[in-house]
Amino acid sequence: MINTLEYLFVKEVIPTEIEQDVILNISTRNVNTHTHSFHKYPAKFIPHIPKWAIEKYLNGKKNKNILDPFCGSGTTLVEGILAGHNVIGVDIDPLSALISKVKTTMVDVTELNKISTWLNKEIKKNKTGNFKPDCETIEHWFTKEAIEKLSIIRTLINQIPEKFGNTKKIKDIQDLLVICFSSIIRRVSNADNESQKTYVSHTNVKVPEEVNTLFFSQFDLFIDRISKFSKVIDPKLTSRIICSSSAQLLGKKLKGQNIDLAITSPPYIKAIDYIYNQMVELFWVGDLFNMQTQTKQNRKKIEYIGNKQIQKIEFNNYTPYNTILNIDRLDEKLQQVYDIDKKNGHKHSYVTFKYFAEMEKHFSEMANCLSMGTHYVMVVGDSNVSNIYFDTADFLIDIAERNGFRITNKWGYKIKNRYMRFDRKGRGGIIEIDWVLDFEKCNTNLIHIKNHYT
């Protein structure tokens, strides 16, 4: 049993060699450098982790290919490009895919400045915007003044190709503005800024920030950061973002693509509802991904690994006694949850089972994409489901190993960022450690699993 209070203190740079099971306390002052600061994202990991993996496995090399199959807001991808490598990001979430694209795409700074001047002038004219969110309760989420101002900005962003040309260069700037616009939405809304869930607190009433002031200060920051980023990165490097599931067809999508290193943090069990978290942003930019209404957002949720929005019909026939993952300790825990969780129709047991089954599909897909000897570094946290502790990291090691990976090291670090700290222990408290699993692709040694998915 590891004593979680004994940490090894590390000042910013993680040492290349780390002893197994050590838990680091990393001093993380510089998490928001470069384009990392562009947009909030739940369970974003610290850039120190991909940086460590890149330095360890691609040290002194350039132009290699780095994959993040659950890229979220693109932390791995930004670090990969900064270190001189091509990057490929995959994520099921369209807003995160766009954030990742914007954070890793150079823009034409002269055009950007022209568009900035135009926007400044147009916004000051105080015209009425014609963009209207497709949400009946929009006035619950925003003040009337905020709605009017956001509408003008979004209308102007839509007009950019018409005014400046329908070229890739202009489209990249338009995407940057969409993400800049999206990044201010939560702060100008009535919803609580910090919570994982989007809600308006009546006990702790918020005074939303003023739209135009915040938008322009954020846009200035974007211009500054992207201009500097565009100067320091090699223009020949590529960033490819694929909005898709990493548990299905990954091998097909990456066919012929040589991957030199994979780094990721997959979702946690039952912990984050990414769409619910981004709900107010999606009212204003969701039309770009056909996710502007709550109905459409809810339909999309089922595709996310670890999500708990599951219809009863899906798990009507599920029991952990006849649907097993063939990992004794895991199957036993699923049975315990099943027995405890009668009031939810045993849903939590099924959600947890499904999480591991989907992660198994993911490892099997990854095994097809990586060649022998390639490292796959994964950050994952343990979870508590119905008061049963799931050492997710250890179960994922078992699953990865039977799908052609060998674990070469496991170490941990203390989670500090509040936006990443969420209650994974039910009412019991907050889990403070994330585990870094360092896998190496070896022989594929698939076994047959008796479950819903075979």
Ligand X SMILES: C[S@@+](CC[C@H](N)C(=O)[O-])C[C@H]1O[C@@H](n2cnc3c(N)ncnc32)[C@H](O)[C@@H]1O
For ligand X, the binding residues (CB under 6 A) are 41, 43-45, 70, 72-73, 75, 90-93, 96, 245-247, 265-267, 274, 304-305
Q: How far is the CB of 242 from ligand X (least distance, A)?
A: 9
Q: How far is the CB of 66 from ligand X (least distance, A)?
A: 13
Q: How far is the CB of 353 from ligand X (least distance, A)?
A: 16
Q: Decide whether 148 or 303 has the Cβ nearer to ligand X.
A: 303
Q: Dihedrals φ, ψ of 69, to 5°?
A: -80, -10
Q: How far is the CB of 143 from ligand X (least distance, A)?
A: 30
Q: Decide whether 43 or 226 has the Cβ nearer to ligand X.
A: 43
Q: How far is the CB of 210 from ligand X (least distance, A)?
A: 28
Token look-up 């091998």 returns: 251
- Residue 136 DSSP symbol: T
Q: How far is the CB of 125 from ligand X (least distance, A)?
A: 37
Q: Decide whether 72 or 208 has the Cβ nearer to ligand X.
A: 72
Grouping H, G, I as helix, E, B as strand and the rest as coil, residue 25 is: strand
Q: How far is the CB of 53 from ligand X (least distance, A)?
A: 12
Q: Decide whether 284 or 422 has the Cβ nearer to ligand X.
A: 422
Report the alpha-carbon distance of residue 229 to residue 162 in Å, rounded. Answer: 27
Interstrand relation of 261-264 and 375-380 (parallel, antiparallel or unpaired): parallel
Token look-up 């900035």 returns: 116
Which residue minimizes CB distance to ligand X? Answer: 72
Q: Decide whether 246 or 403 has the Cβ nearer to ligand X.
A: 246
Q: Which amino acid belongs to residue 366?
A: M
Q: Decide whether 265 or 297 has the Cβ nearer to ligand X.
A: 265
Q: Decide whether 133 or 267 has the Cβ nearer to ligand X.
A: 267
State CA 283 to chain mean position distance.
19
Interstrand relation of 261-264 and 65-68 (parallel, antiparallel or unpaired): parallel
Q: How far is the CB of 267 from ligand X (least distance, A)?
A: 5
Token look-up 């990992």 returns: 327
Report the alpha-carbon distance of residue 81 to residue 91 in Å, rounded. Answer: 18
Report the alpha-carbon distance of residue 277 to residue 178 in Å, rounded. Answer: 18
Element (H, E) at 53: helix 48-57
Nearest to 266 by CA among 72, 38, 76, 36: 72
Whether 205 contacts 143, CB under 8 Å:
no
Nearest to 36 by CA among 85, 82, 84, 5: 82
- Residue 210 DSSP symbol: P
Q: Dihedrals φ, ψ of 171, to 5°?
A: -60, -40
Q: Decide whether 44 or 308 has the Cβ nearer to ligand X.
A: 44
